[in-house]
Structure formats: C-alpha cells, structure tokens
C-alpha cells in the first residue's frame, strides 16, 4: 500500500525567509511519481512539480527547489525568499503505475508567510 | 478552455436528502477521480474511473455512487445524506495513468444539516 506523510502540520515564517516542506512516502512499486500541489486560501488545487522514481536529479525553478532522495524515500520542497503570496496548504502526493494511477495525498502542510 | 468543471459550488442538504455532484472535463482525459477533503486533512479518494463505462471504489466509497457513461462526465451521487458527508468535494482528471499531474475542478462545498 502507498502512504504519504507530511509531518509538519503548520509552518510560520517571516517574509524573505527560506522554508522547506518535508514529504516522506512509502511504496512497493518500482515505478512511481511524486507531486507537489498548492492550495491557496481560495481553495483550488494547483500543480507545482512532478518527479519520476527513476529521475533523482534535483531541480531549481525560480524560488522553488526540490530534493528527491530515494534512499530515504523523501521528496522535500523548498521555497527561497518566501513571500506572503506563498501562504497556502501544500500537499505531497504519490501515484503508482501499478495502481491505476490513483494518487495518495499527504495531509498537507499549512504555510503562513508573515509580512 | 474550461478544464474540469464542477457544479454546484456550494450546497446545503438536510439529513436523508439525495443529490448529484456534477463533474465535466473537456480535455478528453480517460482517468477521472472524486475526492473529499475534510477540514485540516488531505484528499481521500472516493471513486475513480479509467474510462467510459468503468468505475471502481477508492478509499472511502460508502454512501456514494458514480457512473461514467461518457468520457466527459463523471457525476457523484449521494443517496442518503449524513452529517459525516459534510466536506469539500473535488473532481479531477488526468490524461494517462500515473505519470501526469491531475487537473482539479474548483470543488463543491457541501454541508449536511
């Protein structure tokens, strides 16, 4: 069975601080996909990033960066120089090729960026 | 380009009433999903479909039913509404099984009183 754990329930930072959101996953499949989604206060779900299980290259995109480590089953997400508009709930999700593409979501981390 | 459209956006039901939450997508995606999101929690899968005429239960299917007569539409039916079904419901679609991100509708906020 697949499982996603986001141990940080809430994080509060001051604007311009860097913040890392943690995600740990469990899966028995060898081919899987990890996602980060953002849910701003308006409620919609916005896709941010996807990583394949066979691609451990980390990436930076603007103020966002991702650290995928298969050895520790972690897929962490960092926001550099946080802004008030980054305040949202962030969800980590896991999908498996062998599971009809169903996604398992973590319970989310609420990020509050104070001015 | 509408994407995934959910109706209604808000609804209040009395205990025991029935209703259908509508979901339509215009991206020709085969895979569609219904989730519920309770306060402070992540998304729990209710039902999913891998194509027209094919549906299957997710993690929390009790009290719900679905149908998939066309590629575009995937309605969710609540037969006897209970307070425990108060939640925000999201419909999502994706073009293939697991590699692509899901496209979400804006959600339906449902209260059972």
DSSP string, A63-104: TEEEEEEGGGTEEEEEESS--GGG-EEEEEEEEEGGGTT-EE
Q: Do B41 and A107 touch (CB under 8 A)?
A: yes
Backbone angles phi, psi at A84, to 5 degrees: -55, -35
B2: pLDDT confidence band, cut at 50, 70 and 90?
A: confident
Secondary structure of residue B80 in the 3-state scheme: coil
Q: How confident is the model at residue A20 (pLDDT cuts 50, 70, 90)?
A: very high
Taking one residue from A and the other from B, the number of pairs with CB-CB distance under 8 angstroms is 65
Is A101's CB within 8 Å of B94's CB?
yes
The pLDDT assigned to B98 comes to 74
The structure tokens 């298969």 sit at A70
Find, in chain B, the residue whose alpha carbon is nearest to that of A5: B42
> How far off is chain A from B34, nearest CA to CA, in Å?
11
In angstroms and rounded to an integer, the radius of gyration of the C-alpha atoms of chain B is 13
Contacts of B58 in chain A (CB under 8 A): 102
**Interchain pair B97, A105: CB under 8 A:** no
Q: State residue B1's pLDDT score.
A: 65
């Amino acid at each position: 069975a697949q499982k996603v754990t986001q141990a940080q329930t809430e994080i509060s930072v001051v604007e311009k601080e860097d913040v890392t959101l943690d995600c740990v996953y469990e899966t028995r499949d060898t081919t899987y996909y990890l996602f980060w989604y953002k849910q701003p206060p308006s409620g919609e779900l916005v896709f941010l990033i996807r990583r394949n299980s066979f691609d451990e290259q980390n990436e930076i995109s603007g103020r966002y960066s991702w650290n995928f480590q298969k050895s520790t089953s972690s897929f962490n997400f960092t926001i550099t120089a946080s802004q008030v508009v980054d305040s949202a709930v962030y969800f980590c999700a896991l999908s498996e090729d062998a599971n009809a593409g169903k996604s398992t979501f973590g319970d989310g981390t609420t990020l509050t960026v104070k001015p | 380009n509408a994407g995934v459209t959910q109706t209604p956006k808000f609804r209040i039901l009395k205990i025991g009433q029935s209703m259908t939450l509508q979901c339509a997508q215009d991206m020709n995606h085969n895979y569609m999903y219904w989730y519920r999101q309770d306060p402070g929690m992540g998304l729990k899968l209710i039902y999913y479909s891998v194509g027209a005429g094919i549906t299957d239960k997710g993690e929390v299917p009790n009290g719900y039913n679905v149908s998939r007569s066309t590629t575009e539409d995937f309605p969710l039916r609540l037969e006897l509404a209970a307070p425990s079904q108060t939640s925000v419901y999201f419909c999502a679609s994706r073009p293939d099984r697991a590699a692509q991100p899901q496209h979400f509708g804006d959600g339906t906020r449902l209260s059972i009183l």
